[in-house]
A and B are shown apart, each in its own frame.
Chain A
Amino acid sequence: MSAVVFYSATIWLAVLLGVVVIFLGRAGTTAQRILAIDLLTLILIGLLALAAQRDQRPYTLDTALALALLSFVATLAACRYYENRRPFS
């Protein structure tokens, strides 16, 4: 992949990250915040995939795998806490 595509893609994803962070600060309800954090980790996984594509190093995708697993569990725990006022029922 050409360097132009890589750098512009990275900068664009960073801009999207910034937009989501601003939305996170202005969101009206708790569910919207949880949703924004979920979207934030998805964009981070996208950035890691870009980095793996450029460097050809598979270890970058290990990080993405761990991040995907962690964000899923975090979303579940946060929603349970929001719903029941305690994380484990």
Chain B
Amino acid sequence: MTAIVAGLLTILGLVILTIGVYGVVRLPDVYTQLHAASKAGFLGVAALLAAAALQGGGAIVARAVLIVALLTVTTPVAAHVVARAAHRRGESLRTPGAVDES
């Protein structure tokens, strides 16, 4: 039973990661790519870690919890820092019809 759930979680993680990578390749500028990359990457990795924690012993569960907690704090900060650097260096919004109130 847990093996099936773990397999499903693994496949879910792969699907989310694939959508993230596809979004990065397809979208036109850094700001929109950030939506796909860091958040989808984080969710996909969290699903893969959950699959590992389901089947593993206490040591694996402890580390998986720690990594997910760490990523929850660091991914938004990393995304914000990339966006701020791009904005302050004047990288433009390349999507047609973009709204800019800055």
Contact = CB atoms under 8 A, between A and B. Distances in A.
Interface residues of B, number: 49
Contacts of B7: 1-2, 5
Contacts of A89: none
A: contact size bracket:
35 or more
Main DSSP-derived SS at the B contact region: helix
Contacts, number: 144
A75 B10 contact: no
Interface string B1-37: 0010011001101100110110011000010011001
Chain A at the B interface: SS class:
helix
Interface of A: 1-2, 5, 9, 12-13, 16, 19-20, 23, 29-32, 34-36, 38-39, 42-43, 45-46, 49-50, 52-53, 56, 58, 61-62, 64-65, 68-69, 72, 75-76, 79-80, 82-83
Interface of B: 3, 6-7, 10-11, 13-14, 17-18, 20-21, 24-25, 30, 33-34, 37-38, 41-42, 44-45, 48-49, 51-52, 55-57, 59-60, 63-64, 66-67, 70-71, 74, 77-78, 81-86, 88-89, 91
